[in-house]
Structure 1
Amino acid sequence: MKRDICSIALLCLATAAAVNDEPLIVELPNGKIRGRDNEGYYSYESIPYAEPPMGELRFEAPQPYERQWKEVFDATTPPNFCIQLNQFVEGAQKSIGVEDCLTVNVYKPKNSSRSSFPVVVNIHGGAFMFGGPVDHGQEPIMASGNVILVKIAYRVGPIGFLSAGDATLSGNFGLKDQRLALRWIKQNIARFGGEPENIMVLGHSAGGASVHLQMLQEEFSQLAKVAVSFSGNALDPWVVQQGARRRAFEVGRIVGCGLQSDSVELKKCLQSKDASEIVGAVSEFLVVDYVPFAPFSPVVESEEVAEPFITKHPIDIIKSGKFGQVPWLTSYTQEDGTYNAALLMAKQLNGNELIEDLNSRWFELAPYYLFYRDSKKTVDEMDDYSRDLRQQYLGDRNFSVDSYLDVQRLFTDVLFRNDTLRSIDLHRQHSKSPVYGYVYDNPPVRGSAQILARREDIYFGTGHGDDYVLIFDKPTSQPREDEKIISKNFIRLLEEFVQSDNGSPIYDACVFPNNIGEEQLQLLLIKTNSCEILKLNTIE
């Protein structure tokens, strides 16, 4: 049953005290919780917003958490990872996490000059396959002291995105988790001193794509004021994919459910299995290292689903104009394709880089690396596209260390850049709300690319997440002075954007151009010590 979210939020504002005599105690509809004093800020972690999605609730839309606490709930325990096969866990055993993981985590700065705070909600990335709130640090934003930060945990991998393409096993459970968490935040954040009328939802990579997908819900304009997608949007080829039904039944076969053809029986069998078996099946879908990086991801659901998330492709939703009309900022980095291209520079046991294998395996591996294996109708069509890509970016050269940067540019364009520009272009035609974009180009000393390649002797440029890490994560090397300044500029941008009623976001002294109604795409180019307007005539 739909609720009047705005009325609930106003009621919360009226009943919640702006200043609590005991700031570590917060009273929620379920009872009281006790947080932690972290010197510069208060934290309230592992607060459940949904019933544990286990047993018969596995592969179902999340159910709101309605239990009552007889004693004060301990909100000092860091959040768990949702069960997953994590690419960045060292060693052969990469499975971590638990099923009972659907929590929100609130961080409130100690700032006596404010009686209430705007709210920044972070949806973590991880290719829809892994990651969690603990991956992203809150210290930089808490040090600034001007917003409440909320981090969401949601189901990932096959537990969050397995789909048979029908009403029985619909998929998109992780997105439905996010949506329920956003409703919880809207209804309850005033109790922590947050301003429910000033909520920003942001995310990076799959988190950024999730934000865009959430924004494509008409309800989103009631849940948030503005949205930010770093290096990820709903049109990227790794986001909404085809072939999910085939993969769902293959999971069943791998875990011992037999060669099922009926999704009712498949679901019943999978609900009886240990979650670790289902997550472990992910490894059977990887052709090399963690490729493809998103074998389980969002889908277009059947219209017969009781609680669907999307029943049309994002392109069609945008063209319809029926989505959450809020200002949206999206971005990419100059070399976003370092994820997953940097893996190609990793040394193999024979001493050669993995990129050398592409000379004999390009037609086999390219559709997995670049996510068009299920979107092409025939093998010939798939091979033609593979051949065209190689010709466009390499010409007659071989795949080698010398040609790597051109291969990385291919990954950047196909996986991130092209569809960021396409999304901005579609929104400027069909949205009533402002749409902004930026490109970040400031190579770090050591970034995510060096971690993926497991080497420090290669120049990768500005890779995937090298901007985002300056806001939320702990950098992999000591930040330079310019990066410290950029970090402050980004945080100030977010703080001002979430509070602005009709102004454009500002980075340093540069005002973001609004693309609505413009003939050219206009993005802000952010470099080491400067920013400038970048105009693009076409989507190249």
Structure 2
Amino acid sequence: MLKILLFVVLSFFIQIFCEDIDVTLPNGKIRGLKVTPVVTNLTYYSFLGIPFAAPPIGNLRFKPPQPVENWEGTLIADNNDALCYQVGKKTEHASEDCLYLNVYTPVVPSTSSSLPVLVFIYGGTFRRGRSFPGYKSPAFLMKENVVVVTFNYRVGPFGFLSTEDEVIPGNMGLKDQQFALKWVQQNINLFGGDPRQVTLMGQSAGSASVTYQLLSPGSAGLFRAAIGNSGSALCTWAFQRNAADIAYGIAAEIDPTFERNRTSEELLNFLSNVPASAIEDTADKYNAFAPVIEVPHVGALISDLMYRNAENGSFNKVPVLMGFNSEEALMMAEKTGSWRSYVRQYDKDLRTLVDDDMYITDSDKKLLVGKEIKKIYLNDTDMFADKLGESVQYFGDNRFIRPIIKFAELIRHHVDLYFYQFSYHGPLGGNSVEIPGIGKVAHAEDQNYFWVVHDNYDSFPDTDIKTLQRYVTLLTNFVKYLNPTPIADDLLQNITWPKATENDYLYLDIDTNLSIQTNPRNFSYSKWVDIYEENAAKPFISY
């Protein structure tokens, strides 16, 4: 009960008192804020908008991040309005000069403290997203004595354009993430954090990014544990097909005379010298971007198949905690008419149920596979347009849940793996869509039970506050102890969260009550596995 009250009192954020506090980095001095809410037992320090890499402008566009130059005087780190260009969304502060990070610490910086560190990567399908611009979001974690780092990374064409050769190898956004992790290793001790106790966490595309960093040899030693919420490198949207065609298409969209037979060097020169706004304006046609498998070269982030490396253990072996929400695609049905119209494509042609990443080119075979996929969710005579719940389940499985479960299944043979399903649904989740017979928790809904998203929590039911408290405790326990349930805890109903092993795929179901379950999403997942094994082209890339 005491811990619940401590969370509730965090609601009084409206009145705060701030005072300056300085930290001297290798690049120069920064000045952050000491934040003290009305409840005086919650005091922490925020440093917002610290440059961690040189602005990727001019000849650094489409290049890996480079070290930031030293600055003179004191950099005032009290806001982070910086925002990388977003795909299809004009934003006032958007710029190529966006590689800044935030540090939040519950202890006086530059002391001898050595606290565990959580580094968080935002989602947004590699097209959008930003780090927290203000100071309040990690406040729940400050109560748990964890140092928190958030940062921007390039998205869209500025972060993931590739010519599929060494000229523009791609994955600049992932390399920004890796560069931020190196910054943490070099500097986090100045904020009371321990560089030996870094956990990397991400949501959606951020979770897929976490798994890419697991798979990247260049990230070895940069973190000791990983948390993934609702995404993996095996998600079909987390891998870019035909990247070079897209790069040339963007150039031709800007200048119709730019032809596909031009060299990669000419393409780089052309796109490096047009205004950033010209590239941004091509989003009307080119709006899907993601990581690529790079050609082998010095500095490549990943040059091998994600599935194969996860399967054979060729990745950074650290403890992993990951999972998904009970109905990831639920918000697709928020507008019933539009969703029903969208899923009619499946009823008209069952081949549209077959993802391109299965690489089935024969039309007849594709139709047969589409029929098998339909059987997972519907009877032969049923229509997806009439069964909105089942269509939501299909979409969520195909885009999120199947590749998340598979990635975890592959790596559990090599590392300590804790797997979960977030099933609790309450007002705090912010989702009003409910369809009988399926899960209730939509994509990203769990994040409202981890980060501070409101100024006042008084109006939320006790079950919401308790679930928030449990989720924060489970994840920060993992950050601190590499075990989400290291001791018996009444808050956690004295449950022990077991590892998912080779023999038992056990997971924690996070609902009104916590429970241990076996074989996540088993009503559909095992059938998908059979379909992939029998029909998808091998070796698998995504899943």
Residue aligning to 1:441: 423
**Does the CA-based 8 Å contact 1:186-1:223 persist in structure 2?**
yes
Structure 2 portions without partners, runs of 5+: 1-18, 37-42, 528-543
Counterpart check, 1:126 vs 2:95: no
Match of 1:171 in 2: 170
Superposition pairs of residues 38-77 of structure 1, within 5 angstroms: 38-39=35-36, 40-65=43-68, 67-77=69-79
Check if 1:482 corresponds to 2:463.
yes
Which of 312, 316, 322 matches 2:304? 312
8 A contact 1:356–1:399 mirrored in 2: no
- Cα RMSD, aligned residues only: 3.1
Q: Does 1:297 align with 2:290?
A: yes
- AA of the residue aligned to 1:491: V
Q: Of 457, 461, 467, which residue of structure 1 is paired with 2:440?
A: 461
Question: In the TM superposition, what is the alpha-carbon distance from 1:386 to its structure 2 partner?
Answer: 4.1
Q: Call closer, same or farther: CA 1:281–1:365 in 2, change over 3 Å.
A: farther
Letter in 2 for 1:73: L
- Name the SS for the 2:45 alignment partner: strand
Q: Residue in 2 aligned with 1:260?
A: 260
- 1-structure distance, mates of 2:326, 2:484: 27
Query: Offset of 1:284 from its aligned partner?
Result: 1.4
Q: How does 1:372-383 map to 2 (within 5 A)?
A: 372=356, 375-378=359-362, 382-383=366-367
Residue correspondence of structure 1 range 231-270 to structure 2 within 5 A? 231-256=230-255, 258-261=258-261, 262-270=263-271
Q: Mean alpha-carbon deviation: is it higher for 148-157 or for 109-118? A: 109-118
1:97 equivalent among 87, 94, 98: 94
Q: CA deviation at 1:318?
A: 1.7
2:537 alignment partner in structure 1: none
Cα distance in 1 for residues equivalent to 2:334 and 2:382: 17
Matching residue's letter, 2:505: L
Q: Deviations over 1:107-156 (max 9, x none)?
A: 11258999342111101111111010127962442452511110021000
Amino-acid identity (%): 30
Report whether the alignment pairs 1:421 with 2:410: no
* Secondary structure of the structure 1 residue equivalent to 2:23: strand
- How many matched pairs? 487
d(CA) in 1 for partners of 2:519, 2:375: 27
CA distance in 1, matches of 2:351, 2:44: 47
Q: Does structure 2 retain, via aligned residues, the 8 Å contact 1:25–1:32?
A: yes
* Residue in structure 1 matching 2:495, options 510, 517, 522: 510
In the aligned structure 2, how far is the partner of 1:242 from the partner of 1:274?
26
Asked if 1:331 is matched to 2:328, the reply is no
Q: Which amino acid aligns with 1:488?
A: Q
CA shift, 1:427, in A, is 1.0
3-state DSSP class of the match of 2:384? coil
The letter for the 2-side match of 1:182 is L
Do residues 498 (structure 1) and 479 (structure 2) align?
yes
Q: Does 1:472 align with 2:451?
A: yes
Measured in 2, the distance between the counterparts of 1:411 and 1:360 equals 13
| Alpha carbons of structure 1 residues 365 and 81: separation in structure 2 relative to 1, 3 Å | farther
The 3 A distance-change label for structure 1 pair 268 and 449 is farther
Change over 3 Å in CA distance of 1:327–1:373 after alignment to 2: closer
CA contact (8 A) 2:485 2:495 kept: no
Amino acid at match of 2:508: L
Kept after mapping to 2: 8 A contact 1:95/1:279: no
Query: Does residue 37 in structure 1 map to residue 34 in structure 2?
Result: yes
Contact 1:82 / 1:154 at 8 angstroms: preserved in 2?
Answer: yes
Residue 337 of structure 1 and its aligned partner are, at CA, apart by: 2.1
Q: CA distance change for structure 1 residues 30 and 449 in 2, over 3 Å: closer, same or farther?
A: same
Give me the whole-angstrom Cα distance separating, in 2, the residues matched to 1:271 and 1:448: 42
**Which residue number corresponds to residue 538 of structure 2?**
none
Whole-angstrom CA distance in 2 between matches of 1:171 and 1:384: 36
The alpha-carbon distance between structure 1 residues 134 and 197, as it changes in their structure 2 partners (threshold 3 A), is same
1:445, CA displacement in angstroms? 3.3
3-state DSSP class of the match of 1:510? Answer: coil
Instruction: Tell me the alpha carbon deviations over residues 472-531 of structure 1, each in whole angstroms, 9 at most, x when there is no partner.
Output: 252699543212111111222232212226786678132221224x31211111112333
Partners of 1:449 and 1:464 within 8 A in 2: no
CA distance in 2, matches of 1:448, 1:382: 38
Q: Quick one: distance in 2 between partners of 1:70 and 1:114?
A: 26
Between the aligned partners of 1:277 and 1:234, the Cα distance in structure 2 is 30
